[in-house]
Amino acid sequence: MKPVKVGLLGLGTVGTGVVRIVEGHQEDLQSQVGSPIIIEKILVQNISKLRNVSIAEGKLTEDPWDVIRNPEIDVIVEVMGGIEHTKEYILEALSLGKHVVTANKDLMALHGPEILAKAQKHRCDVMYEASVAGGIPIIRTLVEGFSSDRITKIMGIVNGTTNFILTKMSQEGASYADVLKEAQELGYAESDPTSDVEGIDAARKMTILSTLGFRVNVALDDVSAKGISSVTKDDILYAKRLGYVVKLLGIAERQDDAISISVQPTMVKHSHPIAAVNGVFNAVYVYGEAVGETMFYGPGAGELPTATSIVADLVAVVKNLKLGVNGQHGGMAYKEKKLKTDEQITSKYFMLLHVADRAGVLARITQVFAEFEVSLESVLQQPNASNPEAEIIIITHDANKAAISKVLHTFETLDVVHKVKSVYRVEG
């Protein structure tokens, strides 16, 4: 049995996990693919660095071309991160007929169509299951499990850092700043947390999921993204009182072939399964016309969960290699992209207003909603000892985004509305 040889780009946390699984599960892997899988060469930044995994002498290199242009290597596994240099390496590997497995969400979100087109041209596989939601096999599910269905909505918690922060704020009543500091100390958040907390990381993942789910080439600029840095303890408290929990959700929807994709803090009804997803865990909710509602839940990051997804992709590539069917990826986009207008994007909304505490104010506010044909599900006035102004909480029925924008713009011109404190989409 001729072994399949693998080149590994990167030996950090996830790369170490890949080595552990490939070497530790060799018997299981051979039983699935019919031949040994050998890690032939590994790119590292510093060969002399001490590592907590044993690597045979001569397998490490600091030159990427030692891996990519090695004629013995059949598959490149990329876990080094980065975009421009990594893109160059992957495109070169594909041009040499090597298959690619990557965990690089940033690369696939920004350059996925170009990379997949190159792979198709050279009849190569590109697998990227680990780029979204770590150990959850969501990409394979969208491509294969829903191949006979039409997906109408994908909604998910796809960033563990923000879910950890919002969970702590909800369960312990802590402030955003305090929980962010704790997340950094625990290693869940980077020293510069912008990508996570401002929704950029989640937006990149939703770009990938919506491209696969709707079979159109979605660009990162098509995703409307807002992070959690403005979420306050008051917002969390009011959500609780009303039977909701605040989550950073990625939401991709399709109706009549027009799509919308967003990432935003969202109030989710306590009874919805996704409301119970806490800590650093991820979950993706998929709606299909035929199957209805399904949810996929699991760890969104970590050495072994992510490495497990990578090795599963590696197994899929090797199986295709044995069957001679590489390069026939089912996830290619083939539909024309049509983005919904703001008039077509509808949902319920939560609003917290600080208003003048006098007669007639509520009537004036409801008049504004009526003017733009936004109907109201509930209106509450809550006492707040720390705020001398009146606080009004409103939850709308389904309303389009354009009408809500007009309502908010009108509130800015009313002397009775002192501040629009919070606005959130409502789900479930």
CATH of the domain at 99: 3.40.50.720
Examine the residue annotation and report whether 348 is marked as an active-site residue of this protein: no
Q: What is the CATH number of the domain that holds 372?
A: 3.30.70.260
Residues 66 and 113 reside in one and the same domain:
yes
Residues 293 and 314 reside in one and the same domain:
no
Residues 200 and 164 reside in one and the same domain:
yes
Residues 30 and 66 reside in one and the same domain:
yes
Identified catalytic residue from 105, 118, 205, 401: 205
Burial 7-42 (b: 16+ CB within 10 A, else e): bbbbbeebbbbbbbbbbebeeebeeebeeebbbbbb
Picking from 323, 355, 376, the residue at the C-terminal end of a domain is 323
| Residue 207 maps to a domain | yes
| Residue 17 maps to a domain | yes
Whole-number Å distance between alpha carbons of 100 and 119: 9
Name 342's Cβ contacts closer than 8 Å, sequence gap at least 6: 400, 401, 402, 405
| Residue 336 maps to a domain | no
| Residue 335 maps to a domain | no
| Residue 221 maps to a domain | yes
Residues 292 and 309 reside in one and the same domain:
no
Residues 16 and 113 reside in one and the same domain:
yes
- Predicted local confidence at residue 385, as pLDDT: 67
Residues 278 and 268 sit within 8 Å (Cβ to Cβ): no
Q: What is the number of other CB atoms lying within 10 angstroms of the CB of residue 74?
A: 21
- Predicted local confidence at residue 7, as pLDDT: 98
State which residues of the chain have pLDDT below 50.
none
Is the full-model pTM beyond 0.95? Answer: no
Token pair of 364 as six digits = 């004036």
- Predicted local confidence at residue 106, as pLDDT: 95
Whole-number Å distance between alpha carbons of 127 and 309: 10
Residues 217 and 361 reside in one and the same domain:
no
- Predicted local confidence at residue 135, as pLDDT: 83
R_g (Cα) of the chain, nearest Å: 24
Q: What is the CATH number of the domain that holds 285?
A: 3.30.360.10
Residues 207 and 262 reside in one and the same domain:
yes
Domain range enclosing 121: 4-131+303-323
Number of domains in the chain: 3
Query: Residue 102: beta bridge partners?
Result: 78
- Predicted local confidence at residue 394, as pLDDT: 95
Tell how far CA 66 is from the center of its chain.
33
Residues 398 and 318 reside in one and the same domain:
no
Query: Residue 253: beta bridge partners?
Result: 153, 260
| Residue 97 maps to a domain | yes
Picking from 271, 290, 323, the residue at the C-terminal end of a domain is 323
Residue type, 296: F
Residues 203 and 220 reside in one and the same domain:
yes
Residues 166 and 278 reside in one and the same domain:
yes
- Predicted local confidence at residue 331, as pLDDT: 64
| Residue 169 maps to a domain | yes
Q: At residue 11, what are phi and psi to the nearest 5 degrees? A: -135, 45
Residues 282 and 168 reside in one and the same domain:
yes
| Residue 328 maps to a domain | no
* Number of residues in the chain: 428
